[in-house]
């Protein structure tokens, strides 16, 4: 209370509005996105390694994916997080979600590209058969 008897308002919180009153838990969904991104990174690394040309980047992707899966496993053991680290975990979740969506969109575009390529090849094959192989 102030000297005039009027209660003073509480000091504003420095935490972002989404974090105000948070219990200090890891943001929900973070470990799921970490799993998805980790698995996709491992698969992309293996495919790069199999291409022979992409061996250096494939090995790095494989190491990064395995490290991300290990970090996810360690994070699952955490029950409470220091509230000052919550903005970090929210930014990390944003990064995992956007990276996951990049992987999803890449898979969709790959599937569409393969369908288009298959259609072109089928058209060429049918045209060759109709012309008697000439």
Domain boundaries, the chain: 26-129
More confident site: 132 or 59: 59
* Residue that wins the pLDDT comparison between 116 and 134: 116
Would the pTM of this model clear 0.85, i.e. be above it? no
Average pLDDT score over residue span 119-125: 93
Q: What is the pLDDT of residues 11-22, one digit of tens each?
A: 555 554 444 445
Alpha-carbon distance of 75 to 67, in angstroms, equals: 12
The rounded distance, in Å, linking the Cα atoms of 89 and 75 is 11
Residue 33 CB: number of other CB atoms within 10 A? Answer: 21
Closest CA to 72 of 86, 60, 89: 89
pLDDT for residue 130: 85
Report residue 112 as tokens: 């569409």
């Amino acid at each position: 209370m102030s000297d005039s008897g009027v209660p003073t308002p509480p000091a504003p919180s420095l935490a972002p509005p989404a974090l105000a009153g948070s219990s200090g838990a890891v943001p929900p969904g973070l470990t799921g996105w970490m799993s998805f991104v980790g698995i996709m990174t491992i698969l992309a690394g293996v495919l790069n390694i199999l291409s022979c040309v992409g061996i250096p980047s494939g090995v790095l992707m494989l190491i990064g994916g395995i490290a991300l899966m290990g970090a996810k496993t360690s994070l699952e053991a955490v029950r409470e997080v220091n509230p000052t680290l919550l903005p970090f975990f929210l930014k990390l979740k944003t990064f995992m979600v956007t990276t996951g969506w990049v992987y999803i969109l890449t898979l969709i575009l790959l599937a569409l590209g393969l369908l288009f390529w298959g259609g072109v090849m089928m058209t060429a094959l049918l045209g060759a058969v109709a012309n008697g192989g000439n």
